[in-house]
Structures are given as C-alpha cells and as structure tokens.
C-alpha cells in the first residue's frame, strides 16, 4: 500500500511539472533567443548593450543574444525591416532602442504583439501613446540627462547673451528630442521651442543640427562650427562626431583654443573613442550612460517574462549617469 501511494505521489508531481512546462512557466532545456536592436549596428554604445545581454546569458545556457540594427546610420525603415525579420524568424524577446516610435509600432511592434513576442525598450523609449507595445523601458531618464548637459553648459557661459548649438541625430527619435527639451529647460526655463534670449541663451541660427547618425556629417558639422570666429558652445546630445575615427585628427587644429575655452565641446556618452579625445584635450566634458547595464537588465526582465510570465514591476527603469573631464578621464567609467 505504501509503495502504491508513493507511485501515485510521484505520478502527481510529474504531471504538475509537465503542466508547468507546457504552460511556459519554465523549461531550462528550451532555447530562448533575445534580439538586441540598436539604432545603428556599428555603434559601440549598442555593442555594449549586446555584451550586457550576453553577460546575463552566461548564467542561463539556453539563452542566446542576437545583435542587429541599421548598418551605418539611424534609418527608421531599416530598423523596422530588421525587427520584422527577427519576428518572422521567431525570436522570443526583443530589446529595442527606438528611432521612430510611430513607424516602429505600425511597421513591426503591432506584429510582435500579435505573435506574443514581448518587447523591452532601452536607451530610447516609445512615445507615451505607444507604451502599450512594450513591457518596460530600461535606460537613462533622457529629459533629466538633457538637463544635466545643459547645466554643464552653464559653466562655460562667458557672454551676457550666449549662443549655443545643439547637435542631434534623427528628428523623430524620442530620447534625443527629450534631451534637447531638457537642455532648453535647464538653460532657458522652457522646453518647447528654440532658445531666443531667455536667461541669456540663444540657439545659433543654423541649429539644431541633425546628423541622422552619420558620423562623417556629424564631424563636418562640428568642424564648420569650430571655424567660426566666435563659435557657439557646441553641445551634442549623443556621441555622433566623436564616434568618427577621424575626430582626433581633424579636431587637433582646435586643441589650443579648446584649452583656453575659446572653443567649448560638450557631448553625451563616454565610449572609449570619446575618452581618448577628452584625454587629448579635444573636448571639455562628456556625460556618460550605462549601455552595458541597459542590455543586462533588459535581458533579465525579458527572461523572467518569457519563462515565468512575470511582468516588470515598473514601467521605467532609470539608470544613473556619470561625468568625465580631463581630470578624471582615466577613472570616470568602465567600458565593456
């Protein structure tokens, strides 16, 4: 009788476990593919995010991280095509940095929702009206990040009316527009329109400059501005020109002027190539983010949802940022 009860108990436990696996709670043998899609593929920022996903996957042998994105610049159509292709291949989760919210949702994320593929955004979130198409956002609070960039610019104000030039990427990109709004708010007290004298700040008539993420265009724009007799403070809301491998060579002509603060270059991000330029006196301040942690935490949230149907506890997971200058450039951050 005891042996019979033991057999029934074992059968019951086996059935419960089978039912749990069948309902998708957790199966350590099932392959899970998480795709990390940045705005551009050849960007060390997004490559760090992929490494963060891979770092998470080290403890889960059944998890694989796929990396993709538009090859050379912020191309909204290419991003949508890549995401649609990943959906058709049957990835289990998507970790995406948004270039154009509406275009991405209409072109790909509605399909992901239909197929039950969960989405986490990182670095650049969807617009508020599209948040239903992602589980959560992991990254910097981009408005606050813009304010931090703006506060840094205040240190270099030398005129009663100070001109400034903002450089961005694609005109529709949510995180970059939020950063521009944050810069304007910090300097002028408003975030809706170009600065035109509020608190002594005016945006240069040629700015904001939009690069589409093209590094050659970004560097050309910067060099042109620096050649003006009395150039504006130059503030890039992402790496852009400093990601160009020719940045150090072409900017060397301005080194003495930068040292005297006659040329001021402030940039978001602290990738290795940017730190080298800062170390050589070809920038004054870089404010950096945590792309590696964006990828790691984003993958973790997706994994828990895929395996346990556990939704993220928060809609936004904001990460902090750090300041790099010539005095702390060797220790201000760690890149992966």
Own/partner pairs, 213-216, CB within 8 angstroms, 24+ separation: 213/39, 213/40, 213/43, 213/72, 213/73, 213/74, 213/169, 213/170, 213/240, 214/72, 214/73, 215/240, 215/241, 215/243, 215/244, 216/244
Q: Which residue has the tokens 């920038």?
A: 283
CB 133 within 8 A of CB 126: yes
10-14, 65-69, 223-227, 255-259, range with the lowest pLDDT: 10-14
Q: How does pLDDT run across 76-89, given as a tens digit for each residue?
A: 999 999 999 999 99
Q: Which tokens hold the place of 276?
A: 């080298």
Say what the pLDDT of residue 18 is: 32
What is the radius of gyration, based on Cα positions, of the chain? 23
Better pLDDT: 23 or 165: 165
Whole-model pTM?
Answer: 0.91
Question: Among 182, 167, 273, 277, which Cα is nearest to 225's?
Answer: 167
Q: How confident is the model at residue 29 (pLDDT cuts 50, 70, 90)?
A: confident
Better pLDDT: 184 or 73: 184
Output the average pLDDT for the chain: 92
Sign of CA dihedral 58, 59, 64, 65: negative
Q: Which residue has the tokens 């059944």?
A: 62
Strands 162-168 and 93-96, by their bridges, are unpaired
pLDDT of residue 264 exceeding 50: yes
pLDDT of residue 13 exceeding 50: no
Q: Which tokens hold the place of 112?
A: 């992901």
Q: How confident is the model at residue 3 (pLDDT cuts 50, 70, 90)?
A: very low
Say what the pLDDT of residue 5 is: 38
Q: How confident is the model at residue 72 (pLDDT cuts 50, 70, 90)?
A: confident
pLDDT of residue 10 exceeding 80: no
């Amino acid at each position: 009788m005891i042996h019979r009860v033991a057999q029934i108990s074992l059968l019951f436990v086996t059935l419960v476990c089978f039912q749990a696996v069948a309902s998708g709670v957790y199966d350590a043998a099932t392959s899970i593919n998480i795709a990390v899609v940045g705005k551009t593929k050849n960007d060390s920022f997004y490559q760090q995010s992929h490494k963060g996903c891979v770092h998470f996957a080290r403890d889960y042998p059944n998890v694989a991280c796929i990396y993709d994105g538009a090859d050379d610049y912020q191309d909204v159509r290419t991003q949508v095509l890549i995401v649609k292709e990943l959906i058709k291949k049957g990835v289990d989760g998507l970790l995406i940095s948004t270039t154009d919210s509406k275009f991405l949702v209409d072109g790909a994320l509605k399909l992901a929702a239909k197929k039950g593929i969960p989405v986490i955004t990182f670095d650049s979130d969807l617009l508020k009206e599209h948040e239903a198409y992602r589980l959560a956002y992991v990254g910097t609070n981009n408005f606050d990040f813009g304010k931090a960039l703006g506060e840094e610019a205040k240190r270099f104000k030398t005129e009663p009316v100070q001109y400034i030039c903002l450089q961005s990427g694609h005109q529709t990109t949510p995180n970059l527009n939020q950063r521009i709004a944050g810069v304007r708010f910090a300097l002028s007290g408003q975030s809706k329109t170009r600065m035109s004298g509020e608190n002594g700040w005016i945006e240069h008539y040629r700015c904001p400059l939009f690069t589409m993420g093209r590094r050659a265009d970004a560097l050309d724009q910067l060099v042109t501005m620096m050649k003006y007799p009395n150039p504006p403070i130059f503030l890039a809301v992402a790496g852009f020109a400093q990601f160009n491998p020719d940045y150090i060579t072409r900017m060397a002509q301005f080194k003495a002027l930068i040292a005297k603060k006659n040329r001021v270059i402030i940039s978001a991000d602290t990738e290795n190539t940017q730190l080298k330029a800062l170390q050589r006196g070809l920038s004054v301040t870089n404010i950096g983010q945590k792309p590696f942690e964006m990828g790691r935490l984003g993958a973790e949230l997706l994994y828990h949802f895929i395996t346990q149907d556990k939704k993220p506890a928060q809609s936004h997971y904001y990460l902090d940022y750090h300041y790099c200058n010539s005095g702390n450039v060797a220790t201000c951050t760690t890149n992966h």
